[in-house]
Amino acid sequence: MNFMPSNKSIEIFCGTGGVGKTTLATSRAAFLAENGKKVLLVTIDPARRLKQILHLTEEDAGDVKLIDLKTIHPEFGDGQFSALLMNPSRTLRRLGELSNTTKELENKIIKILSRPHGGMNEILATIEVQFQLESKQYDTIVLDTPPGKHFLDFLEASGKIKNFFDASFIEIFKYLGKNFESTPSKAKKIMGLIVSSGVKKLLSYLEKVTGPDFVHLFVDAIVALYKNKEYFLKALAFQQGLSQRQTSNWILVTSAEQSKVHEAEELQHSAKSFLHDDNFLAVNKCLEEYLNQWNTNENVTLSNVKVTMLERENRLKLMAKRNFKNSLFFPEVLGPTPEEHVLTLSRAWSKN
């Protein structure tokens, strides 16, 4: 088994949700902190009980909090790490302060989109991590990504998001008489031409469907986002950093508890363009240790149960060996409290 290097400036935990991704990321932050690293854990929206052990409440969202390991579990050694609960609207506010667009970003559409489930989560999370990375206060940022492959889809969609800021937009603004510092790029694409010649028509259609108020608000929203173009594009460039081996560890988290083989494979497939050699499949909640010690004697029913359960774990392990250079295995923790889970898992990192 390969050990996971712990000298990276960012460690990204991806997973389909419900696999213990946030708990595992927290245990990793605790493990690194116990070993003297300066760590920031960025988490998206953990369960209430996990928030509790991190002493985070909804009101703290957006602020960096210092967490003493001993307050998680007395068996931890000395050490502390910082934790940040993502709050998209706080990130947006900071963006406004930096680019002097606070007023413009007050736009109703942008406000709704930057609610916790409004749809701008992923890009704002990326901008936030970028901010934190630039502060150069931490040895490692542990990023607990939003569940599912949506985060990867998002990283992959960077080209498409760039379109959002492409020349055709400037044409729309010109038509509307809005002010712009950025000059339109010389090379107009055919699509851009089609749009520019049809702007008036396009907006009149939009007005018909959505009402005139929305068109105004929408154009203002676009203007506000456009003024922050630099930050959005920089956040996208951040992707390049993530795909460099010296910068990041990728940890794809899956669980032996569920039939996750298919989803883990899919995840790996979508992550292909980012993955470098330091990518790991973390198989959480393994029962194998327990199952191997289970003596079912002559009981046929139970021995079938045991075989079925073992087979399920073996399928996952075969897949792991086939597709991943490195696999990490974490045992199922049969204690009810999240504190115990974090402690036990953080001990398991030293074996991985």
Partner 1 sequence: MLGQKRIYIFTGKGGVGKTTLSLALTKHLADSGKKVLFCEFDQQSVKPLAQKLNIPYLNLEINSSAEEYVGNKLGSKTVAHWIMKTPFFSALFKMVPGLANMILLGHMIDMLLHDEDLTIVLDSPSSGHALTMLESPFNFKEMFGSGIIVNDIERMEKFIKKEDGFLISVISLPSLMAVTEAKELQSGITKLGYKNTQVIANDLYGLTSDIKDNFNALPEFMKMKIDLEKEVIKNLDTTTSMEVAHIFDNEMENVVNVLAPIMGGKI
d(CA 25, CA 142): 7
User: Which of 133, 206 has the CB closer to partner 1?
Assistant: 206
CB of 163 to partner 1, least distance (A): 5
Q: Taking a C-beta distance cutoff of 8 angstroms, is the pair 43, 65 a contact?
A: no
d(CA 220, CA 241): 32
CB of 159 to partner 1, least distance (A): 10
Q: Taking a C-beta distance cutoff of 8 angstroms, is the pair 347, 24 a contact?
A: no
Residue 217 interacting with partner 1 (CB under 8 A)? yes
Count of residues near partner 1 by CB under 8 A = 77
Task: Give the interface segment with partner 1, choosing from 128-136, 204-212, 241-249, 276-284 (CB under 8 A).
Answer: 204-212
Q: Select from 233, 239, 294, 340 the one that contacts partner 1 (CB under 8 A).
A: 294
Q: Select from 3, 175, 180, 290 the one that contacts partner 1 (CB under 8 A).
A: 290
- Where on the phi/psi map is residue 100: left (φ > 0), alpha (ψ -120 to 50), or beta? left
CB of 157 to partner 1, least distance (A): 6
Q: Select from 98, 193, 237, 302 the one that contacts partner 1 (CB under 8 A).
A: 302
User: Which of 140, 228 has the CB closer to partner 1?
Assistant: 228
Kindly identify the residues of this chain, within the stretch 226-265, that bind partner 1 according to CB under 8 A: 255, 257-260, 262-263
Kindly identify the residues of this chain, within the stretch 66-125, that bind partner 1 according to CB under 8 A: 108-109, 112-113, 115, 117-121, 123
CB of 140 to partner 1, least distance (A): 25
Q: How many CB atoms lie within 10 A of CB 248?
A: 23
d(CA 5, CA 278): 8
Q: Which residue, among 180, 193, 186, 126, has the nearest Cα to 157 in the 3D structure?
A: 126
CB of 130 to partner 1, least distance (A): 18
Q: Taking a C-beta distance cutoff of 8 angstroms, is the pair 122, 161 a contact?
A: no
Residue 95: partners with Cβ closer than 8 Å, 6 or more residues away: 101, 105, 127, 228, 231
Q: Select from 8, 13, 14, 15 the one that contacts partner 1 (CB under 8 A).
A: 15
CB of 328 to partner 1, least distance (A): 18
Q: Are strands 80-85 and 10-15 parallel, antiparallel or unpaired?
A: unpaired
Q: Select from 57, 58, 78, 194 the one that contacts partner 1 (CB under 8 A).
A: 194
d(CA 175, CA 226): 16
User: Which of 150, 347 has the CB closer to partner 1?
Assistant: 150
Task: Give the interface segment with partner 1, choosing from 15-23, 31-39, 58-66, 91-99 (CB under 8 A).
Answer: 15-23
Q: Are strands 326-331 and 10-15 parallel, antiparallel or unpaired?
A: unpaired
d(CA 185, CA 113): 28
CB of 146 to partner 1, least distance (A): 6
Look at the chain and count its residues.
Answer: 352
SS (H, E, C) 134-193: HCCCCCEEEEECCCCCHHHHHHHCHHHHHHHCCHHHHHHHHHHCCCCCCCCCCCCCHHHH
Task: Give the interface segment with partner 1, choosing from 4-12, 78-86, 88-96, 300-308 (CB under 8 A).
Answer: 300-308
Q: Is the dihedral of CA 268, 160, 218, 184 positive or negative?
A: positive
Task: Give the interface segment with partner 1, choosing from 42-50, 58-66, 84-92, 98-106 (CB under 8 A).
Answer: 42-50
Residue located via tokens 């490692």? 140
Task: Give the interface segment with partner 1, choosing from 80-88, 173-181, 199-207, 233-241 (CB under 8 A).
Answer: 199-207
Q: Select from 3, 175, 180, 205 the one that contacts partner 1 (CB under 8 A).
A: 205
Kindly identify the residues of this chain, within the stretch 305-344, that bind partner 1 according to CB under 8 A: 305, 308-309, 311-312, 315, 334, 336, 338
Kindly identify the residues of this chain, within the stretch 138-177, that bind partner 1 according to CB under 8 A: 146-148, 150, 157, 160-161, 163-164, 166, 168-169, 172
